[in-house]
Structure 1
Amino acid sequence: MFKKILVGIDGSAKGDKALEMAIGLAKESGAEIHLVHVIPWPNLPNVFPPGAIAYVPESVIQDLTNELKAKAEKTLKERLLKVEEAGVSGKIKVLEGEPASAIVNYAQEEGVELIVVGNRGISGVKELLLGSVSHKVSQLARCPVLIVK
């Protein structure tokens, strides 16, 4: 059925549940799993106060970006071990940008047939104002999206 499945990995328990679901689907269909983590650049939420980034030296921004990439790669490699232990082939990719758009663009470029993401549980007014990555992915994607609660 599916040959390529993308799983959005953010290091959360919800993301791990999405990965478990994707592994089960991949085993049934013989699919390859693409594990993707997105560094939300240039907005870097919760790192700098609004407007402060204009006053941060380029070297500090580069160091922070390198640190975030290293942490993301470590997280993805840990999840890739779970994929491989289940007898499924996989690959990892760290992306930068707005998370939903980066996930959807990667999926299109790689010919992904299913996107699996966890639901972080944002609801009500908060989701209306901020949106959620899973909701945005489901609206932008050109392939099926499975949102795991």
Structure 2
Amino acid sequence: MYQHIVLAADGSANALRAAKEAVKIARLSANTVVNIVYVASFDNARAEHLHSASSESLLLERRRKVATVEQLLKEHHISYKVTILKGEPAPKIIQYANDNQVDLVIIGSRGLNGLQEMVLGSVSHKVMKRVNCPALIVK
């Protein structure tokens, strides 16, 4: 089954729904590791740096955004790790998944309608089109 799952998380309700699906899949194999990937986008990173007292508080704030997902994985005894990346979310998730021999990427959908997705391009849509492994988008 899937040994290495990347779960993209940003602190949203969609990310939590994606985490619940990750739990279902990860429970199928005792050897599965879920890697929670949080990407601090350039726009958010600038604001976070201005408002943080130190680099430690900045890291704690970013970890807080994935704390609910971490708690869910802990409750279900799922092995996991957290990776925090900086940059644009879609390209960073794609690069991470393609560079680390990931078996499955799970990501929440923003729920955009077709026109908005075509014009703007959602993170989940970009990830799904460009990763070299299966991808699951959770609504």
What TM-score comes out, normalization by structure 1 length? 0.80
Matched residue, 1:84: 74
Quickly say closer, same or farther: Cα 1:61–1:24, change in 2 above 3 A: closer
Matched residue, 2:99: 109
Which runs of 5 or more structure 1 residues have no equivalent in the other structure?
48-52, 54-59
| Partner amino acid, structure 1, of 2:64 | K
Cα distance, 1:126 vs. partner? 1.8
Cα distance, 1:68 vs. partner? 5.9
Whether the 8 Å CA contact 2:5–2:106 is kept in 1: the answer is: yes
Give a deviation string over 1:65-100, Cα, whole Å, max 9, x none.
Answer: 856643221122332122122011000011111111
| Partner amino acid, structure 1, of 2:40 | I
The alignment-based identity, stated in percent, is: 33
2:15 & 2:70 partners in 1: Cα distance?
A: 13
Matched residue, 1:20: 20
**How many pairs does the alignment contain?**
135
Matched residue, 1:63: 50
Cα distance, 1:33 vs. partner? 0.5
Matched residue, 1:56: none
Root mean square deviation, CA, Å: 2.3
2:23 & 2:100 partners in 1: Cα distance?
A: 18
Whether the 8 Å CA contact 2:48–2:58 is kept in 1: the answer is: no
Quickly say closer, same or farther: Cα 1:21–1:61, change in 2 above 3 A: closer
| Partner amino acid, structure 1, of 2:10 | D
1:4 & 1:101 partners in 2: Cα distance?
A: 19
Matched residue, 1:36: 37
Larger gyration radius, structure 1 or structure 2: 1
Give a deviation string over 1:105-127, Cα, whole Å, max 9, x none.
Answer: 11223321100001111123221
| Partner amino acid, structure 2, of 1:112 | V
Match of 2:83 among 82, 87, 93: 93
| Partner amino acid, structure 2, of 1:118 | G
